[in-house]
Amino acid sequence: MCLAGMQQLKLMHAARDDSKAGVERDVVSTSADSRSSSLGQMVVRDGDAVVVDCIAVGGCPPPLVVLRLGRRDITDLFTTHVDRSLSGKRRGSRRVQYRVVKRRRQVHGLTATKAYDGLMLRCLATVPGFAPLSVALRLTVLCKLLLSGLFLATE
């Protein structure tokens, strides 16, 4: 059995506009070298899907990854995909490394509501024997107003 800490933890989301459809970008990330937690912000409109992936790189055994929205555990809304790789040329000195991806399920995704405004969306990853890494986003939910048939988004 191997024992190693994580190298990086990040939250990512898909771009909202059509020109960047399908392109994922970092929202917030941290590494074991920098600090144990990191905070960012995500702005969504009321009714929009909150599309995020939490990616833990490194760690052996694979990191346990938990997602929370405020105090609510939302880990079950995500699927888990684990990749394992070996590094090193010599058989006795190879190192096992895991990449754990928590990806939002398409069917049971999160839909932004006014109640989510100001809440923290947190991804926490732990490997036994090592300090946990945490990344979080403060959600800002823009409200929809309908005036004279025109759509306006306001805070």
Kindly report, residue by residue over 72-109, the tens digit of the pLDDT: 999 998 888 888 887 666 666 666 778 888 887 655 56
What contacts 20, CB < 8 A, 6 or more positions away?
A: none
CA distance 79 to 43: 23
What domains does the chain contain, in order, with CATH numbers?
4-154 (2.60.40.10)
Residue 83, pLDDT score:
87
Kindly report, residue by residue over 121-131, the tens digit of the pLDDT: 999 999 888 88
Kindly report, residue by residue over 25-79, the tens digit of the pLDDT: 657 888 877 665 678 888 888 988 888 888 898 888 888 999 999 999 999 988 8
- pTM of full prediction above 0.85: no
CA distance 68 to 73: 4
Rounded alpha-carbon distances, angstroms, from residue 73 to 34, 53, 124, 149: 26, 15, 11, 38
Do 100 and 80 touch, CB atoms closer than 8 A?
A: yes
**Sequence letter at residue 56:** A
Residue 28 CA neighbour count, 13 Å, CB half? 21
